[in-house]
């Protein structure tokens, strides 16, 4: 690989091929053009947006035969494709059949545990049904209980604080935009973008306090510029 880079790349960057692996219920309807995911405040910004397409693997609508290249590939294809559908009951049994073919017992247990966490968190099957299907593995029933406890612990420790933080940040940004609009009328689009780019709640709260002492939109814009840089 190093020899290839020396002889072929000649100082150029290697090609990066972006891939989206999608397994939602409905078909993927979004653009495959990267630039379409940006909200451009002015056409002058368009030259700074990279232009490339991403490859799409819409697993839900791909044939199962396309993934029969290895045991692991087939396992995770079946899992992702049917996770939202009632057919998961049958497919989970097929997944377990494949899992039993893995020669490494430690890896088999590791994959089983992660599969159980994912199925319990996102699948349509009840815990009782998952437990029933998992009894074929030694200690499978206990593993379901441990997976369920760990899943709930993860949700408690990470998901709630994250979304609470996101909600508080957005509310503080919206409050600042509303207050500035009341004082100076509709804000320029680029100014709203700068306010939305500020990720520090403390800086946003400081701006909410300082805005009432500003005498012009230009003065407020300067405060926003400084806050956005920090």
pTM beyond 0.95: the answer is no
Q: What is the pLDDT of residue 54?
A: 79
d(CA 34, CA 50): 7
C-alpha separations of 173 from 42, 115, 179 in Å: 21, 39, 10
Helix (H, G, I), strand (E, B) or coil at 131: helix
C-alpha separations of 23 from 18, 80, 122, 224 in Å: 17, 6, 12, 40
Q: What is the pLDDT of residue 221?
A: 92
Q: What is the pLDDT of residue 223?
A: 92
Q: What is the pLDDT of residue 10?
A: 60
Q: What is the pLDDT of residue 97?
A: 94
d(CA 34, CA 113): 35
Residues β-bridged to residue 58: 22
Q: What is the pLDDT of residue 68?
A: 66
* Backbone torsions φ then ψ of 67, nearest 5 degrees: -110, 10
pLDDT in tens, the chain (230 residues): 454 455 555 667 777 778 777 777 777 778 888 888 888 888 888 888 888 887 777 777 767 776 666 888 888 888 888 888 899 999 999 999 999 998 888 889 999 999 999 899 888 999 999 999 999 999 999 999 998 888 777 766 655 555 566 778 888 888 889 889 988 898 888 888 889 889 888 889 889 888 888 889 999 999 999 888 87
Locus of tokens 């997976």: 147
Indicate the DSSP class of residue 135: T
């Amino acid at each position: 690989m190093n020899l290839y880079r020396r002889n072929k790349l000649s100082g150029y960057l290697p090609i990066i091929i972006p891939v989206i692996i999608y397994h939602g219920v409905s078909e993927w309807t979004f653009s495959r053009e990267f630039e379409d995911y940006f909200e451009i405040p002015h056409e002058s910004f368009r030259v700074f947006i990279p232009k490339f397409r991403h490859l799409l693997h819409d697993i839900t609508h791909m044939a199962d035969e396309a993934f029969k290249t290895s045991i692991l590939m087939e396992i995770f294809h079946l899992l992702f494709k049917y996770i939202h559908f009632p057919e998961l009951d049958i497919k989970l049994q097929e997944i377990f059949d494949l899992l039993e073919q893995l020669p490494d017992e430690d890896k088999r247990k590791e994959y089983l545990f992660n599969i159980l966490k994912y199925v319990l968190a996102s699948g349509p099957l009840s815990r009782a049904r998952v437990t029933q299907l998992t009894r074929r593995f030694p200690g499978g029933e206990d593993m379901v209980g441990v997976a369920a406890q760990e899943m709930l612990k993860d949700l408690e420790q990470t998901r709630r604080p994250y979304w609470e933080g996101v909600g508080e940040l957005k509310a503080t940004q919206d409050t600042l935009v509303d207050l500035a609009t009341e004082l100076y009328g509709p804000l320029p689009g680029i100014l709203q973008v700068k306010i939305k780019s500020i990720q520090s709640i403390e800086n946003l709260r400081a701006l909410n306090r300082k805005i009432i002492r500003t005498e012009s939109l230009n003065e407020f814009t300067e405060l926003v510029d400084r806050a956005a840089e920090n």
